[in-house]
Amino acid sequence: MRRDTTWPFLIPRRRMVDVSKDIILYLEDLNVSFDGFRALNNLNLYVNDGELRCLIGANGAGKTTLMDVITGKTRCDSGSAWFGQNIDLLAHDEAEIAQLGIGRKFQKPTVFEAHTVFHNLELSLRCGKGVWRALTARLSGSERDRIDEVLSIIGLESSRHQLAGALSHGQKQWLEIGMLLAAEPRLLLVDEPVAGMTAEEAERTAELLTSLAGKHTVIVVEHDMEFVRSIARTVTVLHQGSVLAEGTMDQVQNNRDVVEVYLGEGA
């Protein structure tokens, strides 16, 4: 038995998401309460396949709770959440949702610091293919190619043999995005990607995220308005658990309600 191959029936098959209507995420009338406090309040949001959407809102607006519902971390009290036309997200748990092709990047990088950049990608590639693949010993040629491809996308080719713990903060964030990409997600949720980054790192992150849109759908939660302006095509503004406004950055910045309740506060 070859150690670098796996029987096909042991590799879990990913259910294909149906995006024939060009919409990858349908969130309707979502409600989430914590001890009577409504973190999400009849929230409706639709995201097109392949778009890069920015989600902004003041502290406590419900952004994290929304991400938690999409990824199955938090159960909603009512409403519906569909991944494409055919997958009811509310019928799946967190692990299943990750397997369906929804990847999430939290604010703090969580790479394996004692392993090399390459090994971090190798581990995530294998985990994405199920426990049997993770236990087999050698990478196949196509898996190596995939890791090389991801290294090139995240711009860390020359750091492939470096320990992840020795990377800069920005590089760790890119590596973690790469670890998600290794599993070939359809939808990527990215929480405050540029917090703590230098201006140059933030610029490269903007390039990286915009380059991912198209093949992937990307939802970015970010407080840094300059960064949002640099990447955003459509911005959704959350306020008190509902969508307050949606449009281009210029449209939302000039929206009276937004100016009053959000941008106005910081201005």
Give the interface with ligand ATP as residue ranges (CB under 6 A): 34, 37, 39, 57, 59-65
Contact 185, 103 (CB under 8 A): yes
CA–CA separation, 259 vs 267, rounded Å? Answer: 9
- For the CB of residue 62, give the shortest distance to ligand ATP in the complex, in Å: 4
- For the CB of residue 92, give the shortest distance to ligand ATP in the complex, in Å: 21
Q: Residue 216 has what DSSP assignment?
A: B
- For the CB of residue 154, give the shortest distance to ligand ATP in the complex, in Å: 25
State which residue, 61 or 261, has the beta carbon closest to ligand ATP: 61
DSSP assignment of 59-116, as one string?
Answer: TTSSHHHHHHHHTTSS--SEEEEEETTTEEGGGS-HHHHHHHTEEEE-SS----TTSB
C-alpha distance from residue 223 to each of 8, 22, 24, 174, 226 (Å): 44, 28, 24, 19, 9
- For the CB of residue 174, give the shortest distance to ligand ATP in the complex, in Å: 22
State which residue, 57 or 128, has the beta carbon closest to ligand ATP: 57
Q: Residue 159 has what DSSP assignment?
A: G
C-alpha distance from residue 23 to each of 27, 187, 204, 217, 237 (Å): 11, 11, 28, 10, 19
State which residue, 9 or 34, has the beta carbon closest to ligand ATP: 34
Contact 151, 117 (CB under 8 A): yes
State which residue, 1 or 267, has the beta carbon closest to ligand ATP: 267
- For the CB of residue 183, give the shortest distance to ligand ATP in the complex, in Å: 25
State which residue, 63 or 146, has the beta carbon closest to ligand ATP: 63
State which residue, 65 or 205, has the beta carbon closest to ligand ATP: 65
- For the CB of residue 8, give the shortest distance to ligand ATP in the complex, in Å: 41
3-state SS class at 32 = strand
